């Protein structure tokens, strides 16, 4: 539909003009015609020629139609009035359509703005959802796929020192090959050296580049800034004859700032995870060392003392050494218990299954609760997996004993497909969901989770109020 008809409809021009006709009095006729003379508004078009006064209607400087007013009689007076009216009305219609155009333009702009905000919102959610730097980089590039002009893109990360930037991710068909070709050519280094964002259009006219990347027409470089420091950059390429405009750069910079923050967070998360793992490893080494020393030195000494005392008792023929010997025996017993907690010797010798059976047996005796253990028979996994699964079982069992008020505990260690599944269940009060969310807790839950991650496993803990808690770790067999 043409502009004049659309404006006539939205502005209810038919109503307005009819009212004017009535106001002018009997016999006055008003009509609006398009540039071909077809009637847009007005039932009876007033005849052209000297009987009617006409005025063109312009929109955006273009004539879109004519307004005509015919008086009831062709007197000097009525013709002068008609001319004056037609001018006034025509200018009024033009003003109205201009406002209408403004309104439409504003609405379109607001819609664009809304779309952009919605896209940014989506991008923020998506970027915040990944915790691995590579995933964040890939997700950032995917955000640009909606920009029709961008065909290939890459994220680069500066490392400390003078090392060349590392490419974290690429997007687009054969993008990896394209960027691999561009990197040695030094072009990217040149463009990104000064850390200023910018656009280079008409790349295909550059003969040096035409040989390497004949499909590259326009290029945009945007710095990834986190806390004011450039941590890398984003390269976006479009095929000719596309050109990047300032608005593209602006949008890319906004997305890049969200991406940089997400990237930084993912890296902090990875660093935190690495640190937690280092601490756990150091802790295990220290426990092993302590256990060995206690066993080899103290344990052997205590045993020697006990034997010596027994000999003395025999030699002295009934001297009252029994209480001392009993004391030493009790100390040896305590030491064994401490050693079993620090690092059960059986974990190394017989493996995880038998160790868990023995451990649950001792625990049942100590806490007076039935603890059943179902353990599949399978080849021993690597030491690391055995150690972490043992620690997780140990913590889960202790939590059940200390926090659940259960009447019964169950442990199972099973093979399902190519996975080991460890499960510890109790029939107690059911863990508080706030503890599961990490809002209230000690270190136990987070350490179990961290250990599961160290062996590439998943950790879940589920509580049902009044019906117990289940901890499960599923870890792949190597
Ligand atoms: N099996 C369970 N039944 C009920 N509550 C539990 C259970 N396991 C853990 N919890 C709750 O979760 C909290 C956090 O456990 P954890 O991180 O191991 O810390 P800690 O054992 O040092 O309190 C516990 O304080 C307890 O409130
Ligand atoms: Mg605990």
State if residue 431 touches ligand 1 by the CB under 6 angstroms criterion: yes
State if residue 428 touches ligand 1 by the CB under 6 angstroms criterion: yes
Distance 368 CA to ligand 2 centre (A): 19
Instruction: Give mean pLDDT, residues 263-287.
Output: 89
State if residue 444 touches ligand 1 by the CB under 6 angstroms criterion: yes
The architecture CATH gives domain 3-106: 2-Layer Sandwich (3.30)
State if residue 399 touches ligand 1 by the CB under 6 angstroms criterion: yes
Give per-residue pLDDT as tens, 139-190. Answer: 999 988 766 688 999 999 988 777 778 899 999 999 999 888 888 766 666 6
Report pLDDT for 70. Answer: 87
The reply to whether domains 133-268 and 345-476 share a CATH topology is: no
pTM of model > 0.95: no
Report pLDDT for 45. Answer: 59
Distance 399 CA to ligand 2 centre (A): 5
State if residue 429 touches ligand 1 by the CB under 6 angstroms criterion: yes
Distance 337 CA to ligand 2 centre (A): 19
List the residue whose alpha carbon is closest to atom 22 of ligand 1. 442
Which tops the pLDDT comparison, 50 or 282?
A: 282
State if residue 404 touches ligand 1 by the CB under 6 angstroms criterion: yes
State if residue 426 touches ligand 1 by the CB under 6 angstroms criterion: yes
- Nearest CA among 174, 176, 173 for reference residue 156: 176
Ligand with the closest atom to the CA of 404: 1
- Nearest CA among 339, 314, 309 for reference residue 326: 309
Tell me the pLDDT band of 457, cut-offs 50, 70 and 90: very high
Tell me the pLDDT band of 260, cut-offs 50, 70 and 90: very high
Distance 397 CA to ligand 2 centre (A): 9
Report pLDDT for 46. Answer: 61
Tell me the pLDDT band of 216, cut-offs 50, 70 and 90: confident
Which of 35-49, 297-311, 425-439 holds the top average pLDDT?
425-439
- With a cut of 50, say whether residue 1 has pLDDT above it: no
Report pLDDT for 463. Answer: 94
Instruction: For residue 428, give the ligand 1 atom closest to its CA.
Output: 3
**Domain spanning 133-268: CATH superfamily:** GAF domain (3.30.450.40)
Report pLDDT for 50. Answer: 54
List the residue whose alpha carbon is closest to atom 6 of ligand 1. 431
Q: What are the extents of the domains in the chain?
A: 3-106, 133-268, 345-476
State which fold the 345-476 domain adopts: Heat Shock Protein 90 (3.30.565)
State if residue 425 touches ligand 1 by the CB under 6 angstroms criterion: no
Q: Which of 152-161, 222-231, 314-323, 354-363 has the lowest mean pLDDT?
A: 314-323
Report pLDDT for 393. Answer: 97
């Amino acid at each position: 539909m043409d502009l004049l008809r659309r404006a006539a409809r939205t502005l209810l021009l038919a109503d307005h003009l009819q009212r004017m006709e009535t106001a002018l009095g009997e016999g006055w006729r008003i009509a609006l015609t398009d540039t071909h003379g077809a009637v847009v508004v007005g039932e009876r078009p007033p005849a052209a020629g000297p009987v009617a006064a006409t005025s063109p209607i312009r929109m955006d400087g273009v004539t879109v139609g004519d307004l005509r007013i015919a008086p009831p009689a062709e007197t000097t007076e009525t013709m002068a009035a008609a001319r004056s009216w037609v001018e006034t009305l025509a200018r009024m219609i033009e003003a109205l359509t201009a406002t209408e155009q403004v309104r439409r333009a504003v609405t379109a702009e607001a819609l664009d703005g809304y779309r952009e905000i919605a896209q940014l919102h989506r991008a923020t959610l998506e970027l915040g959802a990944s915790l691995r730097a590579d995933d964040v980089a890939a997700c950032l590039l995917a955000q640009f796929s909606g920009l029709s002009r961008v065909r290939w893109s890459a994220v680069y990360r500066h490392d400390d020192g003078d090392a060349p930037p590392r490419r974290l991710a690429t997007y687009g068909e054969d993008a990896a090959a394209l960027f691999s070709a561009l990197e040695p050519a030094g072009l990217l280094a040149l463009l990104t050296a000064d850390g200023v964002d910018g656009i280079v259009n008409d790349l295909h006219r550059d003969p040096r580049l035409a040989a390497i990347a004949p499909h590259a027409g326009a290029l945009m470089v945007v710095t990834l800034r986190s806390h004011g420091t450039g941590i890398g950059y984003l390269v976006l390429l479009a095929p000719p004859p596309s050109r990047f405009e300032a608005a593209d750069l602006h949008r890319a910079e906004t997305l890049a700032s969200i991406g940089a923050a997400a990237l930084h967070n993912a890296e902090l998360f990875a660093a935190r995870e690495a640190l937690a793992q280092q601490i756990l490893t150091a802790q295990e080494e220290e426990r092993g060392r302590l256990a060995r020393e206690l066993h080899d030195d103290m344990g052997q000494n205590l045993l020697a003392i006990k034997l010596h005392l027994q000999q003395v008792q025999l030699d002295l023929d009934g001297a009252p050494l029994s209480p001392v010997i009993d004391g030493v025996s009790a100390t040896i017993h305590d030491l064994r218990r401490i050693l079993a907690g620090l690092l059960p010797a059986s974990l190394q010798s017989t493996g995880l299954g038998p160790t868990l059976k023995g451990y649950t047996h001792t625990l049942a005796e100590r806490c007076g609760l039935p603890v059943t253990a179902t353990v599949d028979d399978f080849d021993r996994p690597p030491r690391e997996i055995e150690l972490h699964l043992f620690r997780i079982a140990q913590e889960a069992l202790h939590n059940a004993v200390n926090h659940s008020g259960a009447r019964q505990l169950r442990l199972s260690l099973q093979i399902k497909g190519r996975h080991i599944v460890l499960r510890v269940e109790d029939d107690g009060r059911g863990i508080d969901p706030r503890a599961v969310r990490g809002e209230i807790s000690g270190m136990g839950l987070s350490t179990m989770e961290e250990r599961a991650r160290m062996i590439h496993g998943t950790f879940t803990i589920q509580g049902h109020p009044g019906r117990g808690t289940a901890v499960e770790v599923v870890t792949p067999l190597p």
